[in-house]
Amino acid sequence: MSLPYDPADLWHLTLDDLEALEIGSGILGTGGGGNPYIGKLRARQLMAEGHAMTILPLDKIDPDALCLSLGGIGAPVVGIERIKEGQEGLRCLRALEAHLEMTVDAIVCEEIGGSNAMEPLNVAALAKLPVLDGDGMGRAFPEMQMTTFSIYGHTSTPSAMSDTHGNVILFHHAETELAHERMARACVVALGGGAVLASAPMRAEFVRRTAIPGTYTQAIALGRAVRDAQRAHDDPIDAICRKENGRRMFSGKITDLKRHLRGGFVVGEAMLSGIDKDHGVQGSVVIQNENLVFRREGEVEVCVPDLILVLDVDTGEAITTEMLRYGQRVAIVALPCHPLLRSPQALEVVGPKAFGFPEITYRPLAEEEEAA
C-alpha cells in the first residue's frame, strides 16, 4: 500500500527543533496546554531511542488520508505531578483503529500550546506516522469542543481516552460536542485528573480547510526567535511582539494568586502590580487552565479568543498557569488570534460568553490594529 504523501516532503525534527518547540509552544499555550518541559523530556527520550519525529505540510497529504487528532486532557497541575507512562496516546490510536476497522495515516495536533504540541509527536513517533503542520486551536483552550475541527462541523466521537494505568474508554456517541466534553471531563477526573484523548478520525481534506495552518513551523520559529534574543541580550519580549504581531500590555509583579482545582480544571486569578508605569499600575489575569481575560485598572483589555501571554519579563519564556508564583516578574503580551477563531460561529464556542463572562464584549485585537 503506497503512502498518502511523499516521504521527501517530511520535515525531520532535530533535538534543537524540540528545544525551540518547547519555548514556542509554551508561549502559544497562553498559560496552558500542559507543561511543555515535561512534554519535551518525553519527546527527547523517544528521539534518543531512535524514533523519528516528522512534520508534514498540510497541503502535502492526500485529501482522502485519515488523520487522527489527539492531545492530553486534564489539569496542567496534575501533568507535572503525575508523570505519563508513555503509551497512553498509542493505546487511544490502536483502540480507535480496531473499533472503526480503519488505519490512520497521520496524526493531527489538537492544540499547539504547551505539552500538547509534544504529545502528537510522541504518539506519531511510536506509530511511525507523520504529524501534520497545523492544529485545532493555534493556541491552547481548556475544553475539547473548542477546536476549529469541532467548531467547523467535525463530530469528535467516537473518541478514545486512556490513562497511565491502561484504562481505555471509547466515547461511542455524544449528543453534542459539549456532551462529549462533559463525559470526557468527568472520566478524566475519575482517572485522577490526567489522560490522553484521541478524537474521531478526519479526512485530510477537512483538516486542511479547518486547521490553524503551519503552527508547528510557527511555534519552532518563535522559540528560536526568543532564544536568539536571549543569546544576543536583546529584549525577548520585543522579539515575540515583532514576530507575532503582538502588543506589550503590562509589566508587573504577581502580588496575589488564587488557584485551585475545580471540576478537573485549574481555575483562579493572578493579581499584578505594575513595575513599568507606562503600562499601568494594577493588572489581573483570570485563568481556567489558560489565561482568559486580562484587565488593567479593572478594565478588560484583552480576552479570549485572542492570546494572552504571561511571560517571564527577563527570558520571554511562558509561565504556565500551574507555575505562577507570588513575586514573579512578568510581562503580559497580547497576540491576535487566527481569523478561524473569531468568526461568529467560533465566538459562540471560544468567545468570552462561552467562558462565563456574559458582560464582556469581544473586541478583536486584529481590528484594533487595523483601525490604529
Residues contributing to the site for a copy of itself (CB under 8 A): 95, 99, 158, 160, 165-175, 179, 182-183, 185-187, 189-191
Whether residue 185 contacts residue 263, with contact meaning beta carbons closer than 8 Å, is answered with yes
Residue 179 or 275: the one with the smaller Cβ distance to a copy of itself is: 179
In angstroms, what is the minimal distance from the CB of 47 to a copy of itself? 29
Residue 91 or 224: the one with the smaller Cβ distance to a copy of itself is: 91
E strand or H helix that includes residue 49: none
C-alpha 37/C-alpha 130 separation (Å) is 22
Residue 55 or 195: the one with the smaller Cβ distance to a copy of itself is: 195
In angstroms, what is the minimal distance from the CB of 74 to a copy of itself? 13
Residue 166 or 356: the one with the smaller Cβ distance to a copy of itself is: 166
> How many other C-beta atoms can be found within 10 angstroms of the C-beta atom of residue 62?
16
In angstroms, what is the minimal distance from the CB of 73 to a copy of itself? 13
Say which amino acid occupies 287. Answer: I
C-alpha 308/C-alpha 188 separation (Å) is 26
**Any bridge partners for residue 310, and if so which?**
332
Q: HEC string of 91-125?
A: HHHHHHHHHHCCCCCEEEECCCCHHHHHHHHHHHH
In angstroms, what is the minimal distance from the CB of 136 to a copy of itself? 22
In angstroms, what is the minimal distance from the CB of 350 to a copy of itself? 21
Residue 162 or 215: the one with the smaller Cβ distance to a copy of itself is: 162
Residue 113 or 158: the one with the smaller Cβ distance to a copy of itself is: 158
C-alpha 21/C-alpha 218 separation (Å) is 9
Residue 26 or 193: the one with the smaller Cβ distance to a copy of itself is: 193
In order, the DSSP letters of 285-310 are EEEESEEEEEEETTEEEEETTSEEEE
In order, the DSSP letters of 174-222 are -SSHHHHHHHHHHHHHHTTSEEEEEPPPEEHHHHHHHSEETHHHHHHHH
Residue 78 or 95: the one with the smaller Cβ distance to a copy of itself is: 95
C-alpha 46/C-alpha 126 separation (Å) is 8
In angstroms, what is the minimal distance from the CB of 171 to a copy of itself? 5
In angstroms, what is the minimal distance from the CB of 104 to a copy of itself? 17
C-alpha 282/C-alpha 270 separation (Å) is 11
